[in-house]
Structure 1
Amino acid sequence: MSQEVREPVATTGTSAGAGTDAGTEAAVRLQRELANEPQGIGDVVRGTIRRARGGDLGVLPVVGGIVVIWVVFQLTNRSFLSSTNLINLTIDLVPVGVIALGIVCVLLVGEIDLSVGSMSGVSAAVLGTVFIRWELPLVLGVLAALAAGALVGWIYAQAYNRLGVPSFVITLAGLLGLLGVQLWVLTGRDGYNLGFDSPIVRFTSLAFVPAWLAYALVVVAVAASLGLGLAGSRARRAHDLPAVSTQWLLLRSAVLLLALAFAVYYLSLKRGVPWLFVCFIGLVLAMQYLLTRTRFGRNLYAVGGNTEAARRAGIDVRKVYTSAFVLCSSLAALGGILAASRLGAATQDTGTGDVNLNAIAAAVIGGTSLFGGRGTAISALLGILVIGSISSGLTLQQLDSSYRFMITGAVLLLAVALDSVARRSRQASGRG
């Protein structure tokens, strides 16, 4: 039969076998026609509409939400979309955005980490202790903080894999325990002043990309995206699979180039693009590549989609869970380092308040499913942009935090409801 599929021949007859052969030949011809005639712009648009009707909404809801939020706040306060406010927004959202990237990893395998805020506080305390109290090099403080995050993630994974304790309970206990560890590391102090002349504080608050370099980075990023798209399209055609047309890839790249170039121009009207935000975008893109184009990423999606099927396919499920927890806690530690650097101090308040919930909310609002198996690194970027925009807009309106909490909670509930409805719609349409 495999030979008949590769080289279909005409068959006649009314038997079941003949009908099956004819159906197979028709499917093969259709597949080859699709491979030889790449999907054009119209096909991409129709495919997007068809997937949306089937419950695969992608990033459309969150992008639409960002547009609505920006329009409403700009109409109520002309300063919202000013270059100065947008620069402040891009800097302020990075620490929690980095933590949200780790949340995406654990949500992909269908688990949760409720202690990321506390972990970020512990990492900030470790950084302050090593760098200020012990007067060791800054690099050692950063490495010690990241190592603490990795160790906590490994402990979570062992409790989950070996003892079978639910991740909700493990990380809830971790939330409480790490609060105590943070106070213990600070040894009764209110905190450590990192000094505004330290390299890490200057980097997070005062370092901006020269305009010419920012434009060059935009060109390199768009060219790399186009190259990956063309390579992927050629690979799909080589395997007789449908592939988007070069015309669509060029159009998408041109729109992206113009949008990013305008963003650089607009931010450069004041101080420019912050280096901190550029590094965050680089981290998001690296994570996106890791999730979508490596075996590690495929294993995360497989375990989150169906754990038993992944195990029978030969995937080391325990190792996948361990890597997800370790990566999540390590990114939480990195977020704590950036938060302390942004404020210029590591205090008892670092990582407390709404940091924990904002990180989880950002991942979910951005499109990562609570049910596992669906989500991207872009989810963290879009989600934290929603939360950061709400916070910035309400601050400009001089409204207190109560409104921000209520609005963010409503947006989170809406995002989860959309995810649940979309999941049922996908199941009804046979998309899983």
Structure 2
Amino acid sequence: MTDTAVKQGSSATVAPGPTVGSHVRDYLARVRGGDLGSLPAVIGLVVLCTVFALVRPVFFSAGNFANLFTQGAAVTVIAMGLIFVLLLGEIDLSAGFTSGVCAAILANVVTVLGHPWYVAVLAALGTGMLIGLTLGVLVAKVGIPSFVVTLAGFLAFQGVVLLLMEEGTNISIADEVIISIENDWVPPALGWLLAGVAVAGYAAAQLLRQRKRAGRGLQTDPAAVVLARIAGLAVVLGLAVHVLNQERSINPLITSNRGMPIVVPLIALLLVTWTFVLNRTAYGRHLYAVGGNREAARRAGINVDRIRISAFVICSTMAAIGGIIAASRDRSVDPSTGGSNVLLYAVGAAVIGGTSLFGGKGRMIDAVLGGAVVAVIINGMNLLNLSSGLKYVFTGLVLLLAAGVDALSRRRSAATGTR
């Protein structure tokens, strides 16, 4: 056999790389097959922002843009924790008041007892972990349905908040570190640096993923698609930092409000951390496996009870962080902290973002996108001076629509055999 023949024979065995067109066709095929991902949330976010901006141009002002982040921060963080439970097909109805209990612990430790901020934060986080451990054991070991356990927690923790707040006392928080979480800003230069680090980190992760898949002989995404993702993130973050770095103070000579809220990097850090846990660790794979088919996971050697307990621990710990953020925003804690519609908005954020109520499907970015949708709805309707009744009705309809999309996509996936 000649060298030319060898070369021709070897080249015939190499599969052609994917093109942008084939990548787009594959994506559209997945969408038609029911794999919508976060597409509905992204479309909803674009539509809502466009409508509110047209009706009230102040919606896209720098001050209101910053308010969107601070208003939706606590709900977004609680929704992040709920995703771990929802991935298992469970529910935690107590997450809202869990955040209230932890916020009350924080306020009592830092204000009433006079301990440093880090002691108060550790106490709040420890309380959240203990609550999650208790709920998880009751669900996994005792066998009580999560709906019943967490409903009982919803009622009990509401009473615990009242007891901690002495039946109605408002405890102010004066600690500067805690208050700064929601009420202070990252310096503009540091904001640009963080955005650059985020884009560079994302680019490195994308390129490393491409290299690993190519090394294993797996199909890779077209280079143009990868570059488009990186460029898209750079544009979005660049625009956000640019707007947030504008002066928002009424009297900048007295005080200056420029830069992204400190809570934004905090949420970004949580997003990156939990995304890595879900996508790049054995624990994350086990969590999806248990949510997809509990019995199959058990037969595969996964400690199902441990996974279920850990999900509730993470959920309640994230609720504790949400409570700390809420206490920072209000500069105080009262019996209503964590109550009212906090739980409903948090569950709604996770579901609107694309996490399934049936388990086995969801990503951490869903909480961020869903939280953004909820924040935009509340903020936009406030700007329109609509009544609370209309706000609840509209938010409920959006949640119902998201749940309906989830149900229809699952049915479509089953019919096409993609799930």
- The verdict on a shared fold, with TM-score over 0.5 as the criterion, is yes
Which residue in 2 is equivalent to 1:119?
98
**Cα offset for 1:140?**
1.0
Which residue in 2 is equivalent to 1:48?
27
Which residue in 2 is equivalent to 1:185?
164
Measured in 2, the distance between the counterparts of 1:404 and 1:285 equals: 32
Which residue in 2 is equivalent to 1:254?
231
Matched position secondary structure for 1:273: coil
Which residue in 2 is equivalent to 1:320?
307
**Cα offset for 1:162?**
1.6
Which residue in 1 is equivalent to 2:367?
380
Q: Which amino acid in 2 is paired with 1:377?
A: M
**Cα offset for 1:40?**
3.0
TM-score, scaled relative to structure 2:
0.92
The alignment status of 1:224 with 2:201, answered yes or no, reads: yes
Matched position secondary structure for 1:375: coil
Instruction: Say whether the 8 Å CA contact 1:125–1:191 is kept in structure 2.
Output: no
Measured in 1, the distance between the counterparts of 2:74 and 2:233 equals: 25
Instruction: Say whether the 8 Å CA contact 2:141–2:305 is kept in structure 1.
Output: no
**Cα offset for 1:312?**
1.0
Counterpart mapping for 1:292-311 below 5 A: 292-311=279-298
Deviations 1:68-115 (A, max 9, x none): 101111111110111110101111111111000011110001100000
The alignment status of 1:69 with 2:48, answered yes or no, reads: yes
Identical-pair percentage: 43
Unaligned runs of 5+ in 1: 1-28
Measured in 2, the distance between the counterparts of 1:164 and 1:188 equals: 33
**Cα offset for 1:345?**
0.4
Deviations 1:293-340 (A, max 9, x none): 111111111100011111111111111001100000010111011101
**Cα offset for 1:166?**
0.4
Q: Larger Cα Rg: Structure 1 or Structure 2?
A: 1
Q: Which amino acid in 2 is paired with 1:330?
A: T
Q: Which of 66, 91, 110 matches 2:89? A: 110
Instruction: Say whether the 8 Å CA contact 1:40–1:248 is kept in structure 2.
Output: no
Deviations 1:20-68 (A, max 9, x none): xxxxxxxxx99x744xx43332222111101001000111111000011
Deviations 1:327-356 (A, max 9, x none): 000101110111011100011110110001
Which residue in 2 is equivalent to 1:201?
179
Matched position secondary structure for 2:60: coil
Q: Which amino acid in 1 is paired with 2:201?
A: A
**Cα offset for 1:226?**
1.5
Q: Which amino acid in 2 is paired with 1:393?
A: G
Measured in 1, the distance between the counterparts of 2:398 and 2:159 equals: 32
Measured in 2, the distance between the counterparts of 1:269 and 1:40 equals: 41
The alignment status of 1:355 with 2:342, answered yes or no, reads: yes
Measured in 2, the distance between the counterparts of 1:329 and 1:66 equals: 28
Measured in 1, the distance between the counterparts of 2:176 and 2:238 equals: 32
Instruction: Say whether the 8 Å CA contact 1:230–1:246 is kept in structure 2.
Output: no
The alignment status of 1:338 with 2:325, answered yes or no, reads: yes
**Cα offset for 1:268?**
1.2
CA RMSD of aligned residues (A): 1.5
The alignment status of 1:263 with 2:240, answered yes or no, reads: yes
Counterpart mapping for 1:84-95 below 5 A: 84-95=63-74
The alignment status of 1:405 with 2:392, answered yes or no, reads: yes
Q: Which amino acid in 2 is paired with 1:187?
A: E
Measured in 1, the distance between the counterparts of 2:141 and 2:310 equals: 15
Matched position secondary structure for 1:119: helix
Matched position secondary structure for 2:193: helix
**Cα offset for 1:263?**
1.6
Q: Which amino acid in 1 is paired with 2:391?
A: R
Instruction: Say whether the 8 Å CA contact 2:23–2:222 is kept in structure 1.
Output: no
Which residue in 1 is equivalent to 2:251?
none
Identify the range of structure 1 (252-261 vs 323-332) with the bigger mean alpha-carbon deviation. Answer: 252-261
Q: Which amino acid in 2 is paired with 1:387?
A: V
Counterpart mapping for 1:233-248 below 5 A: 233-248=210-225
- How many aligned positions are there? 399
Measured in 2, the distance between the counterparts of 1:254 and 1:155 equals: 45
**Cα offset for 1:261?**
0.9
Which residue in 1 is equivalent to 2:402?
415
Matched position secondary structure for 2:59: coil
Which residue in 2 is equivalent to 1:171?
150
**Cα offset for 1:187?**
2.8
Q: Which amino acid in 2 is paired with 1:158?
A: V
Measured in 2, the distance between the counterparts of 1:74 and 1:248 equals: 30
Q: Which amino acid in 1 is paired with 2:310?
A: S
Q: Which amino acid in 1 is paired with 2:181?
A: F
Deviations 1:268-301 (A, max 9, x none): 1222211111211221121111111111111111
Measured in 1, the distance between the counterparts of 2:172 and 2:189 equals: 35
Matched position secondary structure for 2:90: coil
TM-score, scaled relative to structure 1:
0.90
Which residue in 1 is equivalent to 2:277?
290
